[in-house]
Structure formats: structure tokens, C-alpha cells
């Protein structure tokens, strides 16, 4: 639905250079200028108050119902994840609506010293570093546990985000939750579109190839979603999500 429109939303990619706080140059492929301030949400067409209220009601009812349905599955997953002695849940800081940070919950799919292993891998493997800088993903990620690979392939690791939906941090449908560093590096002026809505448990990126897409395409999906927001689009994405999960395209 939205995938055919993304090239109409953003200009053709142009290489650019960003600089990390430490001063190291990064390769940036998104075609944007400097980010807008976090409170500058007038740059995008946002859902109106009635649509937001209906969307929030659907979020609460839907998340509560899904938690009841998946409660037995979540209990089994929790027991399997806990077998290695580490925590069951992992909360990573992501950017929410209006630029407000929140802890995005997942079942832990990585080893407990994942950050140290990633740093060591990127230090010694330039190909892995290039892949990470381009997509923030690794196709063959040594940090992922055996049960974690299954959870990621089936998207079951994201079930705890239903609690984020109930808390109002997320929506059932919206842009993929990202870190502040991703907004600064990849989004540019499109960051205002991302901050205009709640990030979603599912969304256009999740049903359009996930990690098989480029990061510029991910950004374009977010912009197209906000600019063309409708509750019917949300319904269509929700209906397509189970098929996308079963297909496992780009899930790693």
C-alpha cells in the first residue's frame, strides 16, 4: 500500500556525512537536511483529535485483548528465555511521540553481555561495522541466542510491547520505534514526521520487507504513513501483519 508511494515522499538518495559525538565520521544515506527541533510538529499533517481518540481506544482494547490471547505463549517464552539466568525482558530507550523517550520492551533475545560483544565485533570486522552503520542490523548477529533467533524470526520477541501500547508509549500501528541516534543520523527533517505520532508495534516497515529494506526506505515509510494517515490504513496494516510475520521476510 505505502511501499509504492515512498519515492514520492522523499528525494533521491544523496550521500552525506554525519559526525558522531566522538568525532568519528559515519556514512549516512538518507537524503535529508538538519533535524527539526523536537517540538516542531507543525511541519507535518497529523491525525486530528477525533482520529487520535479513536486510534487510542482501538490501541487500548486491542492490546488488552491480545495480552489475554497471548498470555500462555508469553509465559512459555519467559520460561525459555530465563533458562540462561539472565533477565526475561529487555528495555531499550526509544523515541516516542513528541520526542519523549520511553523504554521499549522486548523478550531478551541476546546474550547478557551483548553490548560488549557488539563493540568487539565492530572493532575487528569492517564488513560488520559497515552493515551495522547502514542498517542498525546484523544478518548474522553473534549476540543472538538460540531461542532469540526463533523469537526474532517470528516477531514473538515484541509481544511485551503490548504493555507499551497500554501505557501510551506506543500504538498498535505506527512508525518503527527508533533511537535518538537514528533520528539524528538518518531522519533529518523527516524526524518531525516520526515525532508527530506514537511508534507502532507494527507498521508499514514491518509489512514491507523489514530488514531487507534500506534505511532511506524505512524513513520514507514513516513519512508516507504520517502524511497519508487514516484509520483504514491502520486496519489494512493490522490485517496484513500476520501474513508478514508468517512470511518472515527480512526478520532477523
Give the highest mean pLDDT range of 12-21, 104-113, 162-171, 210-219: 162-171
Higher pLDDT, 15 or 166: 166
For residue 9, pLDDT beyond 80 = no
φ/ψ of 41, rounded to 5, equals -100, 0
Average pLDDT for residues 51-62, to the nearest whole number? 95
Residue closest to 91 by CA, chosen among 23, 5, 157? 157
pLDDT reported for residue 53: 94
CA–CA distance, 177 with 198 (Å, rounded to integer): 9
Residues 81-134 have pLDDT tens digits of 998 888 999 999 999 999 999 999 999 998 888 888 888 888 888 888 888 877
pLDDT at 48: 79
Question: With bands split at pLDDT 50, 70 and 90, how would you rate the model's confidence at 250?
Answer: low
* Residues 128-134: contacts with CB under 8 Å, at least 24 apart: 130/27, 133/26, 133/27, 134/27, 134/29, 134/214, 134/215
DSSP 3-state of 202: strand
Q: Which residues, 6+ apart, have CB-to-CB distance to 124 below 8 Å?
A: none
C-alpha–C-alpha distance, residues 112 and 48, integer Å: 43
The C-alpha atoms of residue 11 and residue 29 are separated, in whole angstroms, by 12
Query: Does the pLDDT value for residue 30 go beyond 70?
Result: no
Looking at residue 139, its pLDDT comes to 79
pLDDT at residue 119 in the model:
84
C-alpha distances (whole Å) from 56 to each of 42, 49, 113, 191 are 21, 10, 37, 22
SS3 94: strand
Amino acid at each position: 500500500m505505502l511501499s509504492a508511494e515512498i519515492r514520492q515522499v522523499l528525494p533521491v538518495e544523496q550521500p552525506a556525512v554525519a559526525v558522531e559525538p566522538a568525532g568519528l565520521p559515519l556514512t549516512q544515506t538518507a537524503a535529508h537536511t538538519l533535524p527539526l527541533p523536537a517540538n516542531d510538529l507543525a511541519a507535518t499533517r497529523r491525525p486530528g483529535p477525533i482520529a487520535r481518540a479513536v486510534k487510542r481506544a482501538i490501541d487500548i482494547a486491542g492490546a488488552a485483548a491480545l495480552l489475554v490471547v497471548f498470555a500462555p505463549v508469553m509465559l512459555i517464552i519467559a520460561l525459555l528465555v530465563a533458562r540462561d539466568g539472565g533477565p526475561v525482558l529487555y528495555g531499550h530507550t526509544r523515541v516516542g511521540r513528541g520526542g519523549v523517550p520511553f523504554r521499549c520492551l522486548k523478550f531478551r533475545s541476546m546474550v547478557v553481555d551483548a553490548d560488549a560483544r557488539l563493540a568487539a565485533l565492530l572493532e575487528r570486522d569492517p564488513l560488520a561495522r559497515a552493515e551495522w552503520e547502514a542498517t542498525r542490523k546484523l544478518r548474522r548477529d553473534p549476540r543472538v541466542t538460540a531461542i532469540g533467533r526463533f523469537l526474532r524470526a517470528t516477531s514473538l520477541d515484541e509481544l511485551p510491547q503490548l504493555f507499551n501500547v497500554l501505557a501510551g508509549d506506543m500504538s498498535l500501528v505506527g512508525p518503527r520505534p527508533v533511537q535518538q541516534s537514528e533520528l539524528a543520523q538518518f531522519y533529518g527533517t523527516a524526524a518531525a514526521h516520526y515525532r508527530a505520532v506514537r511508534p507502532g508495534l507494527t507498521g508499514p516497515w514491518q509489512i514491507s520487507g523489514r530488514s531487507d529494506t534500506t534505511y532511506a526506505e524505512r524513513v520514507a515509510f514513516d513519512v508516507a504513513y504520517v502524511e497519508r494517515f487514516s484509520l483504514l490504513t491502520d486496519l489494512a496494516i493490522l490485517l496484513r501483519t500476520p501474513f508478514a510475520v508468517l512470511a518472515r521476510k527480512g526478520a532477523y
